[in-house]
Amino acid sequence: MKTIQIFFLALLISSCMQQGSQGPEKGSVLSADQTEISYTLYGDGKTALVFVHCWCCDQGYWREQVDTFSQDYKVVTIDLAGHGKSGTGRDDYTLQAFGMDVASVVKHLELNRIILIGHSLGGGVILAAAHQLKEQTLALIGVDTYQGFLYELSDSVIRQFIEPFRQDFYNTTIGFVHGMFPPGADSLLVMEIAEDLAQGPAEVALSAMINNISTDPVDLLEGLDIPIYSINSRMFPVDVEANRELYPDFEVRFMEGVGHFIQLEDPLNFNRELDKILKEII
């Protein structure tokens, strides 16, 4: 009889623990142009980390971060318009419009202390979003982005770069993604990411890419007074001196032996670097 009582007591405790635990909250909100934006909220905490994915990706690209950081922070992951489970239908996928997507989620969740974290194209998106979220934003953290704030591409160079994607989006994207990894990278991860990006809607991808490489970062930085950090691989050079000359409150940390998708290639060390930066900010 005592064994049965202990068994049912264990079941009761387990049930109470499960009822008391808070799983991720999935939701959606309308952006400024009425496009539906999907998000997921994890954890609890005074400060919220808002993670923004890169070109042709989705919020799942932060899968190695959510469990670690939701122990101490609110963690929000977002599908930008045209990506993941968010709506499509925009005529133009600009960084400014993506920034509105992020701002809409932050305002909907009533987050008043945030750190915006953006990978690659997401770096430009969080710059755009910061203009709408100045009061709430403690800092911006780029992930393998901000290699050079000062650059200018001619229309002809942009057309030359984009044309192969127009002609054969799938195969060009496969080759493009493979070039983002160093020799010896995990072949299964490379194949997974390349295939995933190549399956994205080409019309969304082309619009987002054109807007990303043609938008002047100086315009996005103008009027901001927020610390900017970046965690970058050594694979692509970063003009640290020129960036600091333009925006003095800029800092970069480097990771070795990784390519462009550093948060997935070496999540343990990436999470350590991100944690160090967060402790400096807060």
pLDDT tens digits, one per residue of 60-114: 999 999 999 999 999 999 999 999 999 998 999 999 999 999 999 999 999 999 9
Side-chain half-sphere exposure of 214, counting CA atoms within 13 A: 17
User: How confident is the model at residue 81, as a pLDDT?
Assistant: 98
Pick the CATH number of 25-151+215-281 from 3.10.20.30, 3.40.190.10, 3.40.50.1820, 1.10.1840.10: 3.40.50.1820
**Nearest Cα to Cα of residue 100 among 25, 146, 28, 35:** 35
Q: What does each C-alpha distance from 164 to 168, 202, 226 come to in angstroms?
A: 6, 12, 37
Note the pLDDT of residue 5: 45
pTM (2 d.p.)? 0.91
Q: Phi/psi of residue 129, each to 5°?
A: -65, -35
Domain boundaries, the chain: 25-151+215-281
Burial 38-58 (b: 16+ CB within 10 A, else e): bbbbbbeeebbbbbbbbbbbb
Distance of alpha carbon 147 from alpha carbon 242, whole angstroms: 10
The pLDDT of residue 22 = 59
Does an H or E element contain 118, and which? strand 114-119
Residue 23: per-residue pLDDT: 75
